[in-house]
Amino acid sequence: MRDVVIHVCVTCRHEGWDPEAPRPGARLHAALTRLAPPARIVAVECLGNCRRACTVSLSAPGAWTYVFGDLTPEAGPDVVVAAGLLGASADGLMPWRGRPEPFKRGMIARIPPFPTLEDAAE
């Protein structure tokens, strides 16, 4: 298993949402913390995906980094499943099969792992 880090943007708010209410991303972050998955959960002020909040990114050493948006505050269990898929991935890619629906529809970007010296030798 890879060590997975879940970054959660706790700042975003769609236009028209109650400015006084807890931010949806903050609610998602709190829900994830309660779920206590085998991953590190880190609140972030901005993941740059303001148009399609709520947003999380999933990272793991040697794996691709994934950014997902259009999530709801209720997406905690789905985030845990997606993090588990990345953590268990042998090739560092999140498999399509088994992804919760919001993680099929809501991909914002994916970034390869930082190249290693082995890659350089290819």
> H/E element holding 57?
strand 56-59
Whether the link from the prior residue into 54 is cis, omega within 30° of 0, is: yes
Assigned token pair, 6:
């879940």
Return the range that interacts with a second copy (CB under 8 A); candidates 11-19, 26-34, 65-73, 79-87. Answer: 65-73
61 binds a second copy (CB under 8 A): yes
Among 19, 96, 115, 118, binds a second copy (CB under 8 A): 115
Among 44, 70, 84, 88, binds a second copy (CB under 8 A): 44
1 binds a second copy (CB under 8 A): no
Among 42, 72, 77, 105, binds a second copy (CB under 8 A): 42
User: How many Cβ atoms from other residues are within 10 Å of residue 119's Cβ?
Assistant: 10
Report whether 82 contacts 103 (CB < 8 A). Answer: yes
Among 23, 53, 54, 65, binds a second copy (CB under 8 A): 65
Residue 25 CA to chain centroid, in angstroms?
11
Report whether 67 contacts 109 (CB < 8 A). Answer: yes
The size of the chain, in residues, is: 122
93 binds a second copy (CB under 8 A): no
Among 12, 24, 26, 57, binds a second copy (CB under 8 A): 57
Using CB under 8 A, list all residues that contact a second copy: 5, 7, 40, 42, 44, 46-49, 55, 57, 59, 61, 65-67, 107-112, 114-115, 120
